[in-house]
Structure formats: C-alpha cells, structure tokens
Amino acid sequence: MEYLGLLFELLLLAAGVYIYLFSRGIIKSKDPEIQKRADTLRSKNGWLLRAGGLALTAIMTMNVVLHLIELFGG
C-alpha cells in the first residue's frame, strides 16, 4: 500500500511539472486551433498556472522525498 501512495505522489509531481511547463509555453500542440486556445489561456491565466505548478511541484517533491526516507531510511 505504501508503494501505491508513492505512485500517486509521483503522478501529482509530474502533473505539477507539466502545468509549469505548459504555463511557460514550452509544451506546444501540433494542432493550430488547440495551440491558439492554449495561448489565450496562458495570456489570461499564465501567472496563476505558473504559481500553481510551482506550488504543486514543491509540495509533491517534499512529499516524495519524505516518503522515500520513510520507506528506505528506516
């Protein structure tokens, strides 16, 4: 059961990294219509996406580190 929790923490960490990269414009779509909508979203809510992505990444990084210490550190 402990490994299942670690898996969910890693998935949320990946989601935080994805949100941050999306907010910076690094992740792009091949479809021009979807890319146009993504650019509009980033222009209106970029700061909120960036802050949320950084916060989620920071929190989940600490959770993963503490979980690994708990599992393997004794």
Which pLDDT tens digit goes with each residue over 17-37?
999 999 999 999 999 999 999
Q: Whole-angstrom Cα distance, residue 49 to residue 55?
A: 10
Q: Is 29 helix (H, G, I), strand (E, B) or coil?
A: coil
pLDDT at 73: 83
8 Å CB contact between 64 and 13: yes
Q: 1: pLDDT confidence band, cut at 50, 70 and 90?
A: confident
If one compares 60 and 3, the residue with the highest pLDDT of the two is 60
What's the pLDDT score for residue 26?
Answer: 93
The predicted pLDDT at position 74 comes to: 65
